[in-house]
């Protein structure tokens, strides 16, 4: 699809809140502009959901749940609807991929190869769980001399507010929406204001799939406005949030007021450990993808590259070659391998980190500049001779910038990997199976990959600890996070 076709598609996407089974012009005067990160032009103006829309959407969701049309559906009905969403996404995946490239600024092949297939598989995976949300039968010794039968059932947690970031909006919306719907929860999605278009298109497709009114809503708006109204609303039972630790903290505070449940998928500063026995070619390729994919705007970006001293110079050389091979450009041009960052503000933030790397004494070996052209581009950037104490090794940059750090032993590699405020993901490159398992066991992270960067799958639990948050999306963990386990004991 060409840029002009994607722009026409953007013009046709509904740009207002959807709830109670209808698209609604927001009654407040507020609206926000969506800017194309590559051309810096406004590609859409979207109506912002205000307090009335948030309140009505929550009410509609609550009534869909309590004896409403959604609550009455059984698991196999929910499975059918979720499979229908997957089918429609599959049919329109080219359109979604083009719109995602336009909205986020990422090269065309990435949504085609990663985001869309993952989103489709996520809806299918959770369609598979929808009629298998079972409890347990638990043996008990009896009560006051009488025998007992005890079992548990899993019930929907209630209305789920799903709040998503801009870096992979379709895929992350699927991660949050599909498990909650599979479990029987009504979902209200608050998409990112910087890139809301694919979430709005997803909403129109969920509508087309035939979900009953109130089962799914989308409320576009800015975080401190619509987002805050939604997380403060007492009718929301659970907040499923993916975004920065700073906003995650606000979500946790709002949720604590009513002891409401949260899943917080926050940032990362993930290590990629390259041992001397690794296949160095494969490691260099994988490590480069791990930091440069999606412009480095990935929660699991491997922004701390820890390399055994024996192969340090070799790996630095190979990574510099990979960085120099990256082609920055328009996502709609053939051959572009890296697009633009999401906004001028974010580009400036990344540039400040690059300046901090230089000022902190790390050796800039690749990139570091912003090309002279429109768009929020930053070159893929590598710092060698970095230490784990430097700002560029400690704070999440969320751009194509990595610190390369040397280590002298396995213990030191693990110690550096774990000396971090975040604990989301890690990658280990080694050809020694014993070392692979030992190191994977010692690393503090929600997900460790060996010899391949971040092999995501909807069947695998996803999430972290520390500043990376808590709780898990995906797999059975996603169903557990969307249900309450109720115990029933019958005294016979
Ligand atoms: P962000 O925290 O600024 O925004 C995320 C979402 O929260 C947006 O929809 C925003 O509108 C909303 N929001 C902002 N303020 C709010 C408030 N006061 N109340 C309610 N909602 C509010 O994050 P971002 O810049 O969009 O995304 C980048 C961050 O997301 C990075 O830290 C990245 O690591 C993280 N992320 C994590 C994962 C994961 O799975 N762990 C995946 C992708 C991105």
Any ligand 1 atom below 6 A from CB of 157 = no
- Angle 293-294-299 from CA coordinates, rounded to 5°: 90
User: How high is the mean pLDDT of the chain?
Assistant: 97
For residue 121, the CA-to-ligand 1 centroid distance in Å is 23
Average pLDDT over residues 14-28: 91
Any ligand 1 atom below 6 A from CB of 221 = no
Catalytic residues: 265, 299
Any ligand 1 atom below 6 A from CB of 179 = no
Residues in the chain: 492
Which residue has a Cα nearest atom 14 of ligand 1? 223
Any ligand 1 atom below 6 A from CB of 166 = yes
For residue 141, the CA-to-ligand 1 centroid distance in Å is 48
How crowded is residue 33: how many other Cβ atoms within 10 Å of its Cβ?
11
Any ligand 1 atom below 6 A from CB of 192 = yes
Q: Is residue 58 within 8 Å of 236, Cβ to Cβ?
A: yes
Say whether pLDDT at 66 is over 90: no
Which residue has a Cα nearest atom 12 of ligand 1? 223
Q: How many CA atoms lie within 13 A of 472 on its CB side?
A: 17
Please give the pLDDT value at position 67: 83
Query: Among 457, 465, 447, which Cα is nearest to 124's?
Result: 457
Any ligand 1 atom below 6 A from CB of 353 = no
The string of pLDDT tens digits covering residues 309-347 is 999 999 999 999 999 999 999 999 999 999 999 999 999
Ligand 1 nearest-atom number relative to CA 175: 40
For residue 324, the CA-to-ligand 1 centroid distance in Å is 30
Query: Among 376, 398, 365, 405, which Cα is nearest to 272's?
Result: 405
User: What are the φ/ψ torsions at residue 363 (nearest 5 degrees)?
Assistant: -95, 115
For residue 244, the CA-to-ligand 1 centroid distance in Å is 4
Query: Among 189, 174, 197, which Cα is nearest to 99's?
Result: 197
The string of pLDDT tens digits covering residues 174-225 is 999 999 999 999 999 999 999 999 999 999 999 999 999 999 999 999 999 9
Q: Return the H-helix or E-strand segment holding 218.
A: strand 216-218
Which residue has a Cα nearest atom 26 of ligand 1? 165
For residue 242, the CA-to-ligand 1 centroid distance in Å is 5
Please give the pLDDT value at position 25: 81
Ligand 1 nearest-atom number relative to CA 230: 20
For residue 300, the CA-to-ligand 1 centroid distance in Å is 14
Please give the pLDDT value at position 156: 97
Q: Where are the beta strands (DSSP E) in 309-454?
A: 363-366, 381-384, 401-407, 422-423, 425-429, 447-450
Query: Among 129, 133, 122, 115, which Cα is nearest to 85's?
Result: 122
Which residue has a Cα nearest atom 9 of ligand 1? 192
- The pLDDT-based confidence of 380 (bands split at 50, 70, 90) is very high
Any ligand 1 atom below 6 A from CB of 247 = yes
Query: Among 478, 461, 460, 466, which Cα is nearest to 160's?
Result: 478
Say whether pLDDT at 170 is over 90: yes
Any ligand 1 atom below 6 A from CB of 297 = no
Cα 95 from chain centroid? 20
Q: Return the H-helix or E-strand segment holding 265.
A: strand 261-265
- The pLDDT-based confidence of 24 (bands split at 50, 70, 90) is very high
Say whether pLDDT at 410 is over 90: yes
Q: Is residue 260 within 8 Å of 241, Cβ to Cβ?
A: no
Say whether pLDDT at 27 is over 90: no
Any ligand 1 atom below 6 A from CB of 175 = no
Please give the pLDDT value at position 28: 73
Ligand 1 nearest-atom number relative to CA 469: 41
Neighbouring residues of 53: CB distance < 8 A, sequence distance ≥ 6: 17, 19, 24, 26, 27, 28, 219
**pTM of the entire structure?**
0.97
């Amino acid at each position: 699809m060409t840029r002009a076709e994607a722009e026409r598609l953007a013009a046709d996407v509904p740009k207002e809140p959807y709830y109670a089974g209808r698209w609604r012009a927001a009654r407040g005067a507020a609206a926000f502009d969506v800017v194309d990160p590559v051309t810096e032009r406004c590609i859409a103006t979207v109506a912002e959901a205000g307090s009335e829309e948030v309140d009505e959407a929550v009410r509609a969701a609550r009534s869909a749940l309590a004896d409403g049309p959604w609550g009455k559906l059984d698991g196999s009905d929910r499975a059918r609807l979720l499979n229908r969403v997957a089918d429609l996404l599959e049919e329109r995946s080219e359109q979604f991929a083009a719109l995602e490239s336009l909205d986020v600024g990422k090269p065309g092949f990435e949504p085609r190869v990663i985001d869309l297939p993952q989103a489709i598989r996520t809806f299918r995976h959770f369609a598979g769980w929808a009629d298998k949300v079972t409890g347990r039968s638990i043996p008990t010794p009896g009560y006051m001399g009488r025998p007992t039968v005890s079992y548990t059932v899993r019930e929907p947690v209630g209305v789920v507010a799903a709040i998503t970031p801009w870096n992979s909006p379709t895929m992350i919306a699927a991660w949050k929406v599909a498990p909650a719907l599979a479990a029987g929860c009504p979902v209200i999605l608050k998409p990112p204001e910087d890139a809301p278009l694919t979430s709005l298109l997803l909403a129109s497709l969920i509508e087309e799939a035939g979900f009953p009114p109130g089962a799914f809503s989308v409320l576009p708006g800015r975080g401190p406005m619509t987002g805050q109204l939604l997380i403060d609303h007492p009718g929301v039972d659970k907040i499923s949030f993916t975004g920065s630790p700073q906003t995650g903290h606000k979500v946790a505070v709002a949720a604590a007021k009513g002891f409401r449940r949260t899943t917080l998928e926050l940032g990362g500063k993930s290590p990629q450990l390259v041992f001397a026995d690794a296949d160095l070619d494969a490691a260099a390729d994988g490590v480069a993808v791990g930091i440069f994919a999606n412009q480095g705007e990935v929660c699991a970006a491997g922004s701390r590259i820890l390399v055994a001293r024996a192969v340090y110079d070799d790996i630095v050389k190979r990574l510099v070659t990979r960085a120099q091979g990256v082609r920055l450009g328009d996502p709609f041009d053939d051959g572009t391998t890296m697009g633009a960052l999401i906004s001028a503000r974010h580009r400036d933030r990344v540039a400040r980190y690059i300046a901090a790397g230089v000022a902190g004494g790390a050796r800039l070996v690749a990139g570091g500049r912003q090309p002279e052209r429109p768009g929020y581009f930053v070159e893929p950037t590598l710092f060698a001779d970095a230490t784990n104490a430097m700002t560029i090794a400690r704070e999440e940059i969320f751009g194509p910038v990595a610190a390369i750090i040397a280590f002298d032993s396995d213990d030191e590699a693990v110690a550096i990997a774990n000396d971090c405020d975040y604990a989301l993901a890690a990658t280990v490159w080694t050809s020694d199976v014993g070392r692979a398992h030992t190191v994977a066991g010692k690393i503090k992270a929600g997900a460790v990959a060996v010899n391949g960067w971040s092999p995501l799958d909807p069947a695998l639990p996803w999430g972290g600890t520390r500043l990376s948050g808590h709780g898990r999306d995906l797999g059975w963990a996603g169903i557990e996070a969307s249900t309450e386990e109720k115990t029933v004991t019958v005294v016979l």
